[in-house]
Structure 1
């Protein structure tokens, strides 16, 4: 037990060092946040799977500000001649937004996603990734906003079944409309955390996420987020 604790402590020390590198030095405006994530994935048989994700977001400056709910259906095609772990998804996002718990606007998204659960392995480090395309609509505002979200994640065992995980995601706006005004890379998320099994079907992931927003002609934003995620597989 003591050896396991020391191994985890050593991993945490290394993680803190990487966190310092993840936080962009150029960021000026900052916000402290907390995100709670609950994900459930069900194997439907014959290569089909369904997932439901609920993300609750709290901010130091905005209080409770978002409840993102995602439903996706995917089909694994890696067993039909494609790369191992290749899954194609279609899904919908219901995304009401708030300010200090008071409703402000409703956003709807249709998403398409290609995931590679087993992208590659380098020594003990396993990589996975995805490419997600979203079409976004906000009630009361005309136009469709298109967005691309490439994502890559690395996982490495550090003590028994406990994994050190690091990830990067970019948000790239493909067009402009009434609420998506930037164009190009809008923001990026870099995260670091620990993933540990609670039982055969449920895992817990605790981490830190830095969300860097690009603001042309003004100070960039920098959100420092504590994340807690529970994942269940059935």
Structure 2
């Protein structure tokens, strides 16, 4: 992730995990994410996230709907407290010609469940709305590009903020 406010690179994410289908249209996933925060080209903090989620999918005609509920456990190397948050999301995927290209729209809310000494505050933190194009290059590899609108709610005396983000991602499934 890059930002004008942080002078370039401000965050990198490295994520690995495992997914298991437990019933038709229902999957559980456990992942670990290492999030490195930067400021002025130097590491500012390292956050470790353990995430557990349940996702339910259904088809409505050609549209694939997916609802997800994610619980995150967050700790930072330079802090004592652990943060917990919920991240529910709804996502719609519509295949368009050719068959390996899809239009995606999603909404995600981020709700902090506790306060921490490193700045997490209980309550609704932000919401993300995405519109993107996904290309499934192979069974294991996909690329996605789109527009992400992220709204930060006014909290702790701060004013609300809105980010306009070019979202690019690559997914490799082994």
TM-score with structure 1 length normalisation?
A: 0.68
Deviation at 1:159, TM superposition (A): 2.1
Rg (Cα) greater in structure: 1
- 1:20-40 CA distances to partner (integer Å, 9 max, x unpaired)? xxxxxxxxxxxxxxxxxxxxx
Higher helix content, 1 or 2: 1
2:37 and 2:158 map into 1 onto residues whose CA distance is 24
Q: In the alignment, is residue 129 of structure 1 matched against residue 39 of structure 2?
A: no
Q: In the alignment, is residue 105 of structure 1 matched against residue 40 of structure 2?
A: no
Taking a change above 3 Å as real, the CA distance of residues 155 and 143 of structure 1, as seen in their structure-2 partners, is same
2:142 and 2:43 map into 1 onto residues whose CA distance is 32
| Unpaired stretches in structure 2, ≥5 consecutive residues | none
Q: In the alignment, is residue 91 of structure 1 matched against residue 31 of structure 2?
A: yes
Q: In the alignment, is residue 66 of structure 1 matched against residue 11 of structure 2?
A: yes
Residue equivalent to 1:40: none
1:61 and 1:135 map into 2 onto residues whose CA distance is 27
Residue equivalent to 1:32: none
Residue equivalent to 1:156: 94
**Across the two proteins, how many residue pairs are aligned to each other?**
171
1:180-199 map, 5 Å? 180-199=119-138
Taking a change above 3 Å as real, the CA distance of residues 197 and 74 of structure 1, as seen in their structure-2 partners, is closer
After superposing on structure 2, the runs of 4+ consecutive aligned residues of structure 1 that deviate more than 4 Å are: none
Residue equivalent to 2:85: 147
Residue equivalent to 2:107: 168
Deviation at 1:200, TM superposition (A): 4.6
| Unpaired stretches in structure 1, ≥5 consecutive residues | 1-56, 79-83
TM-score with structure 2 length normalisation?
A: 0.89
2:18 and 2:140 map into 1 onto residues whose CA distance is 19
1:211-222 map, 5 Å? 211-216=150-155, 217-222=157-162
Q: Identify the structure with bigger relative contact order (alpha carbons < 8 Å, sequence gap 6+).
A: 1
